[in-house]
Structures are given as structure tokens and as C-alpha cells.
Structure 1
Amino acid sequence: MADRVLVRCPVCRREHSYTAPVYPCGCGAPIALPLLSSAAAIQVRHRTWDGSWISVRCPKCGRVDEWPQPELGCGCGTTLRVPVARGRTGVAAPSPSADRPPAEPPLPEPAPAVPASASRVPVPRPAFRPVTIRTAHDAKLAAGQYLRWLGFDGIRVAERTPTSGVDVRGPSVIAHVDPSTSPVGVRDVETLWLNGLNDSAVAVCFALAGYVRDARARADELRLPLFVLDLTGTPRAVNQAAEQLIRTPR
């Protein structure tokens, strides 16, 4: 059963009731992270792979998987990390590879081909020319270049990410670009989708570090295209909606 603890923000001293997330093991057993209620929450200032993931052993099958560290957002704007009891059953010691991102889940099966009766025949695109990513702004430029390559016109790239989270915008498309070393969460996916509805535009998400499983599942429900950028600036589709976006002629 998932632990529930009181978490006090070290900045504004506000208390929050927090329940540990439960993750599904590959064998089907639920895995709840054991929280350390006696320790104070930690303010997250800088993210690293080592600090964002934790190794947990399934008590049923013994399999060890990497899962996101439990975090919550305070109303004052502080992100809090809730300590996990590493000595309790199920939590493995940090592995030497903890500073590397977890393996990506297998890609979904390709969507069915466009029916032959479609009236428009897509024009073959030229080879995509990526933008090498060295800075956060380079990641936005790479996403904008890719959307132009897909056929979207009037693409504009924001110098700074606005409060809406929309980094790239065109008359019929918007995109959020996450250049951080932490996977994109559910909140970012849902916010982007709502912005797309509000603007009557296609919403697309790009990330360097991928997506948490819940975010991928939510994006599949919302049919929101997800892409992962490598450091060469080349996007890779990670869900069926992204594959469909690539195949749709414009």
C-alpha cells in the first residue's frame, strides 16, 4: 500500500499531504516507493540524472527498474523532492549507471498506412538538415527546423520560454521544447494540449531526456505527438501520433 506523509516546504513552511506514487512492474505487480517521513523534503534547484531516478526492486519477481524520484510542487513555486527510505525492502542501492537515462520503452507498432483512396499524394521531402544542439536555444531551433521540414509555414522560435510553455509557434502549430536532463511529465503534456485547443493548432512536444511513462500514456490518450531530440538535432518519433504527423501531407 502506498505511503502517505506530510511534507513541509522549507521555503514557505506550507505543509502538504503526499502519497507515494505506485508504478507497474513488468510482471504486473504494483511497486510503491517507501517514503522516509522522518526526513525533511529537499528543494530541487538543479536536476541531474542521478538525482531524478531511483532503482527499485520488485518484491514479487526481483526485477530492478529505474523510476522517477517522488516530487511535488508547492504553491510558492518550489519543487520538493520527498526522501525515499533506501534501507527498506524494495529500494536498491544506487547503481553506477544511475547518471545515465533509463532505456526507452519499445516504440509502439506503426499506425496503419494511409488508404490508397486518399485524394492527395504526398510530395517526397528533401533530406532533413538538423541543427546541432549545444544550448537550450539550439534545441528550440532544431524543433522549429523540423516543423518547417514537416510542411508547417510561418514558424517562429521564442528567445525565452513564455509562461505558456510554447517555445515554437506557427499559424497552425505550436510546440513545447524541453532541453533539460529530466524527462517531461504529465503536467507539461496536458498544458501543451490545452494550449493547442485554445489556439486551434496542432500541439507537438520535443524533449532531450524523453518522457515519464505516465506522460507518454497521457499523450497517447490525447493523441499528442511526442519526439525525442538527440544532440545532432534529429527528432525521433516516440508515439503513434508523432508517426502519423510525419506521414500527413501538408
Structure 2
Amino acid sequence: MLARLSETDRAAFKQGVRAISPTLTAMFSWGLVTGIAMSKSVLTVPQALAMSLLVYAGSSQLAVLPLLAAKLPVWTVLLTAAMVNMRFVIFSAGLAPHFSYLTLPRRLVLGYFNGDLVYLLFQKKSFATGHVPGKQAYFWGMSLTSWVTWQVSSIIGILLASLFPDSWGLGLAGTLALIPIMISAIVSRSTLVAVVVAGIVALLADALPYRLALPLAVFAALAAGSAADLLAERADLKRVRAGGKAGDPRNHAEDAQ
């Protein structure tokens, strides 16, 4: 595959692989936990494998397993999965300016391979919008590496679930490994505000059914981050206006009089 790419794309693809590599340990742990949970639930092995390959969203997969075990109506399962994955609508909106020139089928495929860490690391790269040489290859370097790691770990968990005792606490290990990545993404005051607000809302709403705490935290973070950006812009504008008035020659003339 790399042989068919241009030199620029090959270099960008390899950069993408290197960028996502520090997260693979956490991703493998989380995928393993998800695979084990699916295998020990009401799903058969073929059903678990199909869910891993078709859904490819660990949070929603884990969220719907208790609902399936309780034999709740299908609409509750779909609604829960949709609410948990609401953040991907935001991710899609963030990627749209970068890949809007692609055809719809290619954008749909790209959306399937996107993920939390892929989107986060892609945005940290600060690419210009529109077509940029190597940008798409960089995305695919991260997303394909992420997808392969997730599927391998998830399938191992599904097939070898009986070998992993519940007391190992792999889920906590995966979560702890993701914390440094999240902290590294806090590069501005508005991001910090969004993270803090999201954490508080998630904790306060944790008891809500259908994992509603997650979408509520996402929306609260968006509102808080946007408000922080707006306040920062207004403060900057006031400083610019104040500086302009101080440098106005007419003000100096008035002071001299």
C-alpha cells in the first residue's frame, strides 16, 4: 500500500503511525476489556466479533451490554448507543473542513475509522483546511494503526475471555493510561474550562440512565468552552481598543492642552 503512495504521503503516513503509537498500550487494554465484556455477556462469539468489527466504539458497546442482558426493547439499545456516541457528531463537524473535498463514500469510510484519540491527535497537528499534501495520509496512518490495534485486542478478549479473571482490573488500567493523553490536549484556557465542566457534569449526572451523563457532559463542555473563547475574544478586543486610544495622536494633543 505504501509503495503506491507518493513520497510525501508515505512520510505523512509514517508520521501518523508514530503519532498514535504512544496511545496503543492504553488502546490495547481498553479493547481487551471490551472484548472480554462482550464474550462474558449474552452475546455469542460470532455476535461479539460482528459487534467489534461493525460498531467499533468501545464506550457504546459496553453501554448496551447490560441492556441486551436485560432484554430491553431494541429502541432503548439504539438510543443509548446514539447518546453515548453523540461526540462523534462533534468530531465529524471538526473534520468536515479538512475533508469536504472528498466524495461522500470516502467521507463515510473515513468517519468509520475515526476515533477519539485519532481526532484529538489530528487536531493537535493544526493542519490548514482543504486539501493539504500528506494530510489525508497522516490521518490514515493514525486511524488504521488504531483500528488494527483495537480489533486485535478486542478479538483476543472475545476468544480468550475465560483466561482473564475479572480481578485484573484491565478497565482501570486503560482509563489511567488515557489520562496523560487527555492532559496533553489541554493547550488553552477554554480547553481547560471545557474539561473541568465536563468532569463535574459527568460526576453529577452519573446516576442517570442510558449513560446520559456522557452526552450531557459533552454539551456542557461545548457551551463552557465556547463561552470561555467568547470572553477571551472580548477581553482581547477591549485591550486592542484601549491600546488604539492610547496611541491616538489626538489623545496626546488633548493631554498637552
TM over 0.5: no
Q: Shorter-chain TM-score category?
A: under 0.3
Specify which structure has the higher proportion of helix: 2
Task: Give TM-score, length-normalised by structure 1.
Answer: 0.24
Task: Give TM-score, length-normalised by structure 2.
Answer: 0.24
Of the two, which has the highest radius of gyration? Answer: 2
Specify which structure has the higher proportion of strand: 1
